[in-house]
Structure 1
Amino acid sequence: MKVVTHDAEKKKLDHPTFEVREKNEENKWVITKNVPAVSGRLSKVTVKEGEWEGDKFYTVSTLIKDDEAEESYLVDFKFNLMNRSVFNSLLNIDTTKDIKIGLYMSKKGYPAASVRQGDDMINWKYSLDEQPKAEEITFKGKTMRDYSAVDNFFVNELKEFGASLGSAPAVSSTKSTPVAEKSVIKKEKVSKKSPQKELDEMSVGIAPDDNDLF
């Protein structure tokens, strides 16, 4: 299962969705449906390192078990503006309770996500002031943002968080196109700002390369 914001022809969707893949009778992964949210108990978080055309990248694999539906969901997330918000909220959940990750289009017209437990939306663990700053760089006359320091910060935090869930904290290595695979098969400090408000602030001057990672 993975987040998609564009169709096969690279056209922007009206709203982001989770693309669900299942194995067919020939043991091949096929897209079976798209859903706006996934829920269950977060049981595993693993940071993966890969390489694509000489550039290294990270993805985060989360295993969410829905006991009621008797299904498990392996959801892969790339590092981008929306998913960093998801990571920041996941770091702040009560791991003894079910979560719900929902996707939607913000009022400003960009993909957004929320993490909830029951009726409560989970705030970020780290405010913008507590995170490393993205570095502004100029490329071909355009000002862009390098989020490497921010990503490394969340990589380390997620590895520690994954270890607390019983998942292996070590980074696994793959050399392939950055494509998500699968489909179905402590509570700490709370930020005073809502994650969506801070996400709105982060969207100002968003780097084109970061937006392209959706």
Structure 2
Amino acid sequence: MSDPALFGVVGGAGRAPSSPAPGAVHLPGWLDLDQQRRLVVACRDWATGPVPIRHTRLPRGGVMSVRTVCVGWHWQPYRYTRTADDVNGARVADFPEWLAELGRRAVADAYGDPAAAAAYAPDTALVNFYDGQARMGMHQDKGERSGAPVVSLSIGDSCVFRFGNPETRARPYTDIALASGDLFVFGGPSRFAYHGVPRVHPGTGDPATGLTAGRLNITLRETGL
């Protein structure tokens, strides 16, 4: 998994790239099957620790339906730390350089801007696992001190990804079908847009990815810390 040359653009099986809002880009089929398998292996390794995958508890006592494991920095609502004081106190797994290079390739392909891609320096990844019942409410990714783009990768079951606006959780928003291998990048005017996952479609993923059920979502971010 250490060779960044493994990653690149792959055709989207007839689904066209789109830009649902300024600064937001959807590239279907960006990861091929082998690349997805390699990411699944990496995610399984991270899920075992040093900080294991878990359901995050929210400040008001609720528990998120997705399970999350972090790389580079540990996220808990709504801050980043190096150690997972809300789980087991351990330091999270290091953020690998091959993953940063993957993020730079994603930004380059989404925006066609080599300078922006070269400047992109993600230092954390949030890996969310959705079973068939999991959902993600509309929220902003605003715990970071950087306005650099968020890079989102999907593997496994397809989902409805609801992408809105920076002002409100309500309309206007666009529902986008994200399938296994898809890339979604949002930055610029859309960096702090509300977004969520109201629905996962169980059984739509390809077991050849190594994920026999559920959906993996890997988001790369610059914390600015």
- Structure showing greater radius of gyration is 1
- Which interval holds the TM-score relative to the shorter structure? under 0.3
**TM-score relative to the length of structure 2:** 0.26
Instruction: Specify which structure has the higher proportion of strand.
Output: 1
Normalised by the size of structure 1, how large is the TM-score? 0.27
